[in-house]
C-alpha cells in the first residue's frame, strides 16, 4: 500500500490536488498532493498524526508568507493552520495564543487589555506559529523575547511543553526554521509574558509602526515579505552606518529595483521585497532572487542569505 493510500485511510478530510497559489503570499506554486485547513488544535493534531503514521511528508503553514512553493507543488500534505484561540490575562500579563492566530490580532487585542511589548511587530503578515518558527522581529524586538513556553507536537504520540531556550532563537531563526525534515515539530500554542502599559501609549506605538510599514513596504500586493536577511545578523540600527549594511540598502544601491524575471519584479518601494506583478511562476521568483543576490555580490563581494524558505521539489522545477 502506498503512502497516499495509507494517508487516505487514516485521514479522509484532506482534499487532493489543490493549487497552492491561493495559500502562498506570492501567489505562486503548483498543487499539493493533499491539503487540509485546520480550524481547531484537534484538527491540526489529527492531520499531523495521520501524516506521521502514513509516512507522508507534511508542512504546516499560516498565511503562506515567508515560504515559496515550487511550480511542481508539494509531494505530501500541506496543512493550513487557522486555529484561532486567544486568551489574555490583563492582571498577570500572560497571553495564551493558538498557533494559527494572526500576529497582528494578538498584538492589537493585547493592547486593548493594556499589555504591550510586541507592537514593533504589528503588521508583519504571519501567524503566531510562523512568527515563532522564524523568530519574527523588527526594530530590535523579536517574538522570542516575549515567549515563555509553547506546546509542540514532536511525534505521533509525544507532545512537549517547550520553554523559550528549547527554540534556540537567533536572528530570524529558531530550531524549527530550515530543518528540512519531512515531519517537522509543530507549534500548537504559545504562552507570552507581556508588559503592563497604558493602552493609549501602546496603540500610539502600533499606529506609528503601521504607518511606517505602509510607507516603506508594498502593502496589499502579492509578496512574501523580506527576501534576504540582513548580513549584520541584526535589525538593530545602533548608528547611521548600520543602515548602510541592511539587505534593503545593499540591494537598492546595487540596482535591484530595476530587476525582474517573467511576472516577478523587485518592489520600487523596498528593494528587499519581490512582488508578483503579473502571473509570475515560482521559477520566475527564484530566478529573480538569484539576480538580486548576484547584483549585491558583484558590487560588494557579499553573499546575501534568504529569509524565505523554499518548499517542494526545486531540483525538477
Catalytic annotation on 197? Answer: no
Do the strands 186-193 and 147-155 form a parallel or antiparallel pair, or are they unpaired?
antiparallel
Please enumerate in sequence order all residues whose Cβ is within 8 A of that of 264, keeping only pairs 6 or more positions apart, or say none: 274, 275, 276, 277, 280, 284, 285, 287, 288
Catalytic annotation on 253? Answer: no
Q: Is the pLDDT of residue 145 over 70?
A: yes
**Where in the chain do CATH 3.30.43.10 domains reside?**
3-81
Distance of CA 68 to the CA centre of its chain: 10
Q: Going by CATH, does the domain composed of 218-311 fall within 3.40.50.720?
A: no
Q: Is the pLDDT of residue 103 over 70?
A: yes
Catalytic annotation on 172? Answer: yes
pLDDT at residue 55 in the model = 93
Catalytic residue among 54, 70, 102, 226: 226
One of 3.30.43.10, 3.90.1150.200, 1.20.1530.20, 3.30.930.10 is the CATH number of 3-81, namely 3.30.43.10
Q: Is the pLDDT of residue 317 over 90?
A: no
What is the third-level CATH fold of 86-215?
A: 3.30.465
pLDDT at residue 237 in the model = 55
Beta bridge partners of 178: none
- Helical ranges in the chain per DSSP H: 3-10, 41-53, 103-112, 128-134, 199-216, 240-243, 247-253, 282-300
Catalytic residue among 54, 70, 104, 172: 172
Catalytic residue among 149, 261, 293, 307: 307
Q: Is the pLDDT of residue 57 over 80?
A: yes
Entry pTM? 0.93
**Where in the chain do CATH 3.30.465.10 domains reside?**
86-215
Amino acid at each position: 500500500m502506498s503512502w497516499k493510500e495509507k494517508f487516505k485511510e487514516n485521514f479522509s478530510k484532506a482534499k487532493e490536488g489543490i493549487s497552492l497559489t491561493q495559500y502562498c503570499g506570492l501567489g505562486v506554486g503548483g498543487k499539493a498532493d493533499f491539503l487540509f485547513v485546520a480550524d481547531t488544535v484537534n484538527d491540526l493534531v489529527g492531520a499531523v498524526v495521520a501524516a506521521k503514521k502514513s509516512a507522508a511528508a507534511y508542512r504546516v503553514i499560516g498565511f503562506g508568507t515567508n515560504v515559496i512553493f515550487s511550480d511542481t507543488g508539494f509531494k505530501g500534505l500541506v496543512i493550513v493552520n487557522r486555529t484561532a484561540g486567544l486568551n489574555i490575562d490583563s492582571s498577570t500579563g500572560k497571553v495564551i495564543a493558538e498557533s494559527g492566530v494572526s500576529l497582528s490580532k494578538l498584538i492589537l487585542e493585547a493592547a486593548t487589555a493594556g499589555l504591550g511589548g510586541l507592537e514593533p511587530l504589528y503588521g508583519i503578515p504571519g501567524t503566531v506559529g510562523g512568527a515563532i518558527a522564524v523568530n519574527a522581529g523588527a526594530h530590535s524586538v523579536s517574538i522570542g523575547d516575549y515567549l515563555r513556553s509553547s506546546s509542540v507536537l514532536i511525534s505521533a504520540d509525544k507532545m512537549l511543553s517547550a520553554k523559550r531556550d528549547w527554540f534556540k532563537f537567533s536572528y530570524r531563526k529558531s530550531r524549527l526554521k530550515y530543518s528540512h525534515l519531512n515531519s517537522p515539530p509543530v507549534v500548537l500554542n504559545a504562552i507570552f509574558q507581556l508588559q503592563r502599559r497604558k493602552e493609549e501609549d501602546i496603540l500610539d506605538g502600533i499606529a506609528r509602526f503601521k504607518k511606517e510599514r505602509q510607507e516603506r513596504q508594498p502593502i496589499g500586493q502579492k509578496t512574501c515579505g523580506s527576501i534576504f536577511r540582513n548580513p549584520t545578523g541584526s535589525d538593530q540600527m545602533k548608528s547611521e552606518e548600520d543602515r548602510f549594511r541592511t539587505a534593503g540598502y545593499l540591494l537598492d544601491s546595487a540596482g535591484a529595483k530595476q530587476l525582474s524575471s517573467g511576472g516577478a519584479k523587485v518592489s520600487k518601494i523596498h528593494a528587499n521585497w519581490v512582488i508578483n506583478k503579473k502571473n509570475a511562476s515560482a521559477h520566475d521568483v527564484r530566478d529573480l532572487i538569484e539576480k538580486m543576490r548576484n547584483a549585491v555580490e558583484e558590487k560588494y563581494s557579499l553573499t546575501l542569505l534568504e529569509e524565505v524558505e523554499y518548499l517542494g521539489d526545486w531540483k525538477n522545477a
